[in-house]
Every structure is written in structure tokens, then in C-alpha cells.
Structure 1
């Protein structure tokens, strides 16, 4: 894995998957494209945004959970046990990392801002599995660790939101 969490791009499979994402989204009537600042998220949706003549808006706080400081890449064999620990203990974090609670607060705030600013628009958000699960899980407990561990890369989920997001206590 070259680069760091922020700068690493897509694998060859990821590049192929980005083309599939573009094919799926091209006829959805998307008005706005928003992405995490991480290169792999940007690359996944920038092609479809450009082909439709739309700007890609990059939002810093849609970044992945900060697992460890300095944007270091953690191997999957270390990330998965950490994610499980973070779901079971939402205040837990490694030195230089952020807790599940802090990340969820960050991303739900961004989601609320997107909903408010782009009300009535169809918006595509390019982000990360854990971040997506935290956004969706904020108001629906079915989006939990098991859901996250059963996602694939990339996944596309359609959310229809009316009004404000409400938290359902788990």
C-alpha cells in the first residue's frame, strides 16, 4: 500500500469498480456530488461527476475514522479487531486516533448540514464504510457492526430523508 490513508488511491479492482459505480449512478439524476478528502473516495465518484458536468465538493469531515495518528495505513488484520473494539466501546481510541463517538458526531453533523443545504436535491456522497455505517446507524440500529462487516467495496446505498435526522437510542 503506497502513500498514507489520505493519499492512497484505488487498486486496479477499485478503478474497475469506480467505472461500475459511474454506470449505476449515471441515470439517477444526481444534482450534487460530495466526497471525503481521501483520494480513493474522490477517484471513485469524480469521473461520474465530471461526465455529468457537475462539480465535486470535497468535505474534510467526511474522512475515514482516524484509527491512528499521522494518517498511517493500518493493515486489515489490525483494523478489523480495532473496529470491533470501537463498536463495543464507543469511547475507545488508539493514541492519535478518534473514538467511534467522536467520529459519529463529526459525520452526523456533516450529514445534517448536507441535508439542510441540499434539501430537495439528489446527492451522491463518496465516503468510507465505517463512516457510512455511523451516519446510517445514527437513526437506525440495524446499521451496526454486523452490517459494516458484511459490506463490500464499493457499496451503494440509497437513503431517502424527509425532515431532520433523529437519533434512535440503541
Structure 2
């Protein structure tokens, strides 16, 4: 039985607004959300799930409204917690330490910890919603780690080429990832 998951990386979000949980979307991000809805509205989506972070929810909210579906949030789909303090060169650290899955900054979470908690949710979603189409509002690093769990070829290069927003369609047969297709076109 095939199950389809649409991973929707959140749209552009201002880094200086609010906290990780409460950040909204930029003007461009809000405009891109309309395009996300246009791309996914005819896919036959049955269920909409999201990270609890505002920018992820806002990125799929238009789709939920269009389809008249509720958005279910899961705390363990949140973005990786990088550190207890703001890190000036965070992207450099991510690039340098991506494949050291046990590495974490002080007060932060490692890739393996983030991957384990998010994959537990994905496995439950695949079991509970087998045969359905599910859209998930997510974040770049956690999305990469989730796909990487099923196919290790999705790593740092994949993460670094992601856009905000971005959409990937994942076809599963039971718990096995069979196909990944990018639906977001940078020309939007």
C-alpha cells in the first residue's frame, strides 16, 4: 500500500522577529504560501500535519483552509534545537559538522537526536494514515534528516540546495521510501 507524504519546507521567515516558535513569514513568504496552496490543492491530500512552529503552520495554512482540513501539530517535528545561545556562524557549524550525527553545541541537540524524535512521528504517521496523502509543514534541517533516515544520499548537499519554501513528494510502500519528487519550481 502506497502512502504519499508532501514535505513542505516553510516559506521565508524573518530571523529577527520573535522566537524560533513564534516567527512569522516575510512579505515574500506570505506570497509564496499562495503558490504552495496552488501546487498542492489538487493532489488529493487527506491529512495536514505540521511542526508546532508558527512559520511551518503558516506555510500550509492556506492549503488547510482550501481543503477544509485541520492542521495537527506534533512537537517532535520541530526544527533541531541548535544551542542554548545564539550562534553567529550557525550555518558554518552545520556545514562542518553535518555528518557527525552525535555532535551538538552546548545546550543543543545533535542530528541523531533530532532525527530519532522526528522519525518516530513519521513512522506513526505512515502507520496511522497508510494509503493516504499527507502534507507536513516542516523545516530544512529536520526535513533533510527525516529523508536521510530512509535514503542516506539525502545529506548536506540536499540541505544546502533547499529553497524557502520547498516541496518534496515522498512515495512510501509501507515504511520503505520508494520515490522522491521535487514539486517546487524556483521559477515561482
Same fold (TM over 0.5): yes
Given the two structures, how large is their TM-score scaled by the length of structure 1? Answer: 0.90
* 1:73 shift after superposition: 6.0
- Gap regions ≥5 residues in structure 1: none
The residue that corresponds to 2:96 in the other structure is: 85
* 1:4 shift after superposition: 0.8
The residue that corresponds to 1:43 in the other structure is: 58
Structure 1 stretches of 4+ moved >2 Å? 72-75
User: By percentage of residues, which structure has more strand?
Assistant: 2
Change in CA separation of 1:19 and 1:141 when aligned onto 2, cut-off 3 Å = same
CA distance in 2, matches of 1:23, 1:10: 18
The residue that corresponds to 1:144 in the other structure is: 155
RMSD of Structure 2 on Structure 1 (CA): 1.5
CA distance in 1, matches of 2:99, 2:175: 27
**3-state DSSP class of the match of 2:98?**
helix
Q: Does 1 or 2 have the higher relative contact order (CA < 8 Å, sep 6+)? A: 2
User: By percentage of residues, which structure has more helix?
Assistant: 1
The residue that corresponds to 2:108 in the other structure is: 97
Of 54, 61, 81, which residue of structure 1 is paired with 2:69? 54
Given the two structures, how large is their TM-score scaled by the length of structure 2? Answer: 0.82
The residue that corresponds to 1:153 in the other structure is: 164
**3-state DSSP class of the match of 2:116?**
helix
- Number of residue pairs the alignment of both structures matches: 162
**Per-residue Cα deviation, 1:95-130 (whole angstroms, up to 9, x for no partner):** 111001100111111110110111111000000011
Contact 1:4 1:73 in 2 (8 A): no
The residue that corresponds to 2:127 in the other structure is: 116
